[in-house]
Amino acid sequence: MKNPRMIIQQEKLLQNVVQMVQKAQKHGVEIVGVTKGAGAHAEVVKTMIRGGLEILADSRLENLVRIKELGLAKELYLLRLPMLSQVEEVVRIADVSFNSQEETLQALSQAAEIQGKVHKVMLMVDVGDLREGVLSQDFLPLVEKALALPGIQLEGIATNVGCYGGVLPSLQQLELLLSLVSSVQEVFHYRIEKISGGNTATTILFQDRWPQGINQLRIGEGLLVGFDSTNNRALESFHQDAFLLQAEIIEVQNKPSYPIGEIGRDAFGRVPHFTDRGIRRRAVLALGRQDIDIDAMIPLLQGVEIIGGSSDHLLVDVTASLEDLKVGDILLFRLRYSALLHAMTSGYVDR
């Protein structure tokens, strides 16, 4: 068996999906399954469908192509704003794309007309996280443009927080979406169907009074790793170990914990810091930054602590481990979202 290797615990993933669908249903919310964190791996796609999801979403067209080939999803969303250079493929592959630029909408409309299709769009509103989307005062003008385009159908309104600015979700943001939807109804007599309130972070508002009318969330992290990075919380009763990474030990030695010699910068140009803990038992694993985000993984074995790493090596302190770890032994790790993202797209990790 090849290492490093990802293990997908499908039953746990399935339970996460089912739970999320049920929780959301109580609030009249449909869940769109976001596959980008798992590189749209076929087993993950199948499990999401089995758990009751009908719409799947990804930020990459390449991933949507793979999902489409499986023929299981009812609708495919392209989450990242389309590049002008890819509008033909976007219309061919995605049922719905997320947009904030008039030029792109025009190009999508033209491409759709040529293909004899109507392409559905969600218009993004930026409520403060400052990644993509128009500010709320620019929303109605964009709607007017979209409604005038023959190849485009305005399907919904969407917002996203907690990504660039780390802005926390709030009821006010969702109320803003609802008020924009009312304005569109008043001004253009057009009913916006889908009101897509956010991502995993937004599920924290289920605890509050969920605003009636917000009828969709797009969820990746919560389903895949049962965690919400923006709010830094594990989702209660969700599995955090649906994905495990296994890596192999290539050295075990007793060594000082403080490097010997003058300290410059590490392989990534950073100044490293060390505390002298005396002689420690350390293992080196055949796994590194080319495979994973080493700052976003948690060892399963008690007494194992990640102390650092480089492109191809992960260093762990195993002094406190009760197991007599040897070269050739395997260690397992739980992954946070960014580690999963890296591991599922690295060409070196077996899946």
Ligand X SMILES: *Cc1c(COP(=O)(O)O)cnc(C)c1O
Look at the alpha carbons of 344, 164, 336, 226 in this order and tell me if their dihedral is positive or negative.
negative
Q: How many residues does the chain have?
A: 351
Catalytic residue among 12, 36, 120, 194: 36
Helix (H) or strand (E) holding 62: helix 61-70
Among 222, 226, 288, 299, binds ligand X (CB under 6 A): 222
Among 126, 221, 291, 317, binds ligand X (CB under 6 A): 221
- Cβ proximity to ligand X: between 55 and 287 the closer is 55
Residues within window 157-196 making contact with ligand X, judged by CB under 6 A = 160
Which residue is listed with tokens 């990504």? 163
Does the protein bind ligand X through residue 218 (CB under 6 A)? Answer: yes
Beta bridge partners of residue 253, listed in sequence order: 282
Does the protein bind ligand X through residue 219 (CB under 6 A)? Answer: yes
Does the protein bind ligand X through residue 10 (CB under 6 A)? Answer: no
Give Cβ neighbours of residue 253 (< 8 Å, ≥ 6 apart). Answer: 281, 282
Catalytic residue at 36?
Answer: yes
* Ramachandran angles phi, psi of 302, nearest 5°: -55, 140
Residue 98 Cβ, how far from ligand X at the closest point, in Å? 6
CA angle 208–232–53, rounded 5-degree value: 65
Nearest to 168 by CA among 203, 194, 138, 133: 203
Does the protein bind ligand X through residue 36 (CB under 6 A)? Answer: yes
Residue 152 Cβ, how far from ligand X at the closest point, in Å? 19
Does the protein bind ligand X through residue 101 (CB under 6 A)? Answer: no
From 172-180, 218-226, 308-316, 320-328, span contacting ligand X (CB under 6 A): 218-226
Q: List residues with catalytic annotation.
A: 36
Contact residues for ligand X, defined by CB under 6 A: 34, 36-37, 59, 79, 160, 199-200, 218-222
